[in-house]
Amino acid sequence: MRKLLLLITTLLSISQFTYGQNQVGVWNVKNGNIESNKSENDQLGLQYWETIHSILPNDLLNKYVLSLRLFSDGKSEDMGGMNQLDETVEFWQIDLDTADMNIFTRDSIQILDYTHTLIHEFGHLLTLNTSQIELTDDETEDPDRGYLTTEGYAIKGSYLNLFVEEFWKPKLLQEWDRINKKRNKKKLVDRLYDFYLDHAEEFVTDYAAESPEEDIAESWTFFVLSDKPLKSGGKYEKIKFFYQFPDLVKYRTHIRKNISFVPVKYVENFKTDSN
């Protein structure tokens, strides 16, 4: 999911319907092809799907994405999500807010913003699919099995497992865990934001500090959209992390070829809502 942290109303990435959202349409996708839902918005669904397909690597999309949902809650708030269709991690739905992702705009800032969202959501598919996550009924984390996501354990050697081992040392994880237990949403958002400020050098955006899952999705997005960092330490190491995987370097090249323009010094120039 991608949201502006300061405006978060729900924090779970699996929220099919939220109050204040207007549904534009839902379409089934089979082997990468969108199927008609026989509604007046059919053409729109097709245009969105073609845009997604023309930017993101098709192999994972065709394998895992079985549904496209378009909605709108107006600008900002919820911008989109990659959601499981059932309790497994095999079947996914892409959710996109048509106000945040206006595929007809010629405004370069808006295009870059929705491109960021699409790459971010693909980052979830990349790191949470069935080859990466082992399902479990465990409600509390068994340290021997590694990092527990909402979906299941990050398999040893998976992108998320390696990412957490390298960047979320036990002390940081414990600090984040304590915050994450807060049930009061306003408090949770405030404390997560403080957590980000305390470790701002380590995160590419404030939203990345929401969880390791969001951190890897955001860092992956900057890996794709930024030049290879010359600087070291902190967030720059998170961007460089992905260069060790030849498949991901190929994905990066593929996406950069397909987007209308590649931003200049993305990580240096990126502004979160707070600065």
HEC profile for 129-193?
A: CCCCEECCCCCCCCHHHCCECCCCEECCCCHHHHHHHHHCCHHHHHHHHHHHCCCCHHHHHHHHH
Q: Of 216 and 267, which CB lies nearer to Zn ion in the complex structure?
A: 216
Contact (CB, 8 A) for 44 and 37: no
Q: How far apart are the C-alpha atoms of 243 and 62, rounded to whole Å?
A: 24
Could you say whether residue 126 binds Zn ion (CB under 5 A)?
no
Residue nearest to Zn ion (CB): 1
Q: Of 217 and 248, which CB lies nearer to Zn ion in the complex structure?
A: 217
Q: What's the min distance (Å) between Cβ of 224 and Zn ion?
A: 15
Q: Of 16 and 108, which CB lies nearer to Zn ion in the complex structure?
A: 16
Could you say whether residue 216 binds Zn ion (CB under 5 A)?
no
Q: How far apart are the C-alpha atoms of 213 and 209, rounded to whole Å?
A: 9
Q: How far apart are the C-alpha atoms of 218 and 117, rounded to whole Å?
A: 9
Question: Which range of residues in 39-47, 127-135, 170-178, 211-219 is near Zn ion by CB under 5 A?
Answer: 211-219
Could you say whether residue 94 binds Zn ion (CB under 5 A)?
no
133-134 vs 153-154, strand pairing mode:
antiparallel
Residues that bind Zn ion (rule: CB under 5 A) add up to a total of: 4
Q: What's the min distance (Å) between Cβ of 39 and Zn ion?
A: 28
Q: Of 12 and 230, which CB lies nearer to Zn ion in the complex structure?
A: 12
Could you say whether residue 1 binds Zn ion (CB under 5 A)?
yes
Interface with Zn ion by CB under 5 A: which residues?
A: 1-2, 214, 217
